[in-house]
Amino acid sequence: MPGIPSPFGGSDADFDDYGEFVPEHIPDPGPFLDGSTVLTGPKHNALHAVTREVFEERKVYDMTFDYNLARLNLDSRHPKAGYRYAEESDSVLRAEFTPTTPFCPQTHTLTIGSFRAWNGLRDRHDYDLVRVRAAPEHHQSEAINDELAEIETEFRETGTVPDGDDAAAGPGQSAPF
């Protein structure tokens, strides 16, 4: 997505290849993934390739680094940031986002955008529902996760992904995803 160039975007040498699974460059599975089967190796990579596609289509971009949010998992400069995935069941995936800092101002928008992208483009993956949460390290994770749970409940009840007007991105804001 062409946009405002970021001095924080890095060079290609800073990133792992999309086909690589480098556990040292992704966050450890957090508490939201407990009790579910955490994806690793080829299964993680296959899902992450789909994530890249749906995030690109829905423009889920980290504006600080000026790249598709899926690329954060490959950014060696932020080895404990990005998404981890776990299968709750054959039809339900859990995704936990760990931001680069505990006060990342984009965590709310990025997790809601991720939920909308994955669940709005369900035909791209094998899950009926992708549940999304922010890792507890974020200072507003409880409020963000409460809102994600509300959106998830609405999605389960209606089968429709709430749009930016149905779920606010925060006080006085809207989420374009």
Give SS3 for 46. Answer: helix
53: DSSP letter: H
The pLDDT, as a whole number, for residue 135 is 98
Cα dihedral 105→175→60→113 (10° resolution): 90
Q: What is the percent of the chain where pLDDT is above 70?
A: 85
The pLDDT, as a whole number, for residue 12 is 57
The pLDDT, as a whole number, for residue 163 is 80
The pLDDT, as a whole number, for residue 177 is 46
Tell me the pLDDT band of 46, cut-offs 50, 70 and 90.
Answer: very high
The pLDDT, as a whole number, for residue 25 is 86
Cα angle: 171, vertex 172, 177; to 5 degrees: 95
| Phi, psi torsion values for 94, nearest 5 degrees | -110, 140
Architecture of the domain spanning 38-158? 2-Layer Sandwich (3.30)
User: What does the pLDDT look like over 149-160, one tens digit per residue?
Assistant: 999 999 999 999
User: What does the pLDDT look like over 48-92, one tens digit per residue?
Assistant: 999 999 999 999 999 888 899 999 999 999 989 999 999 999 999
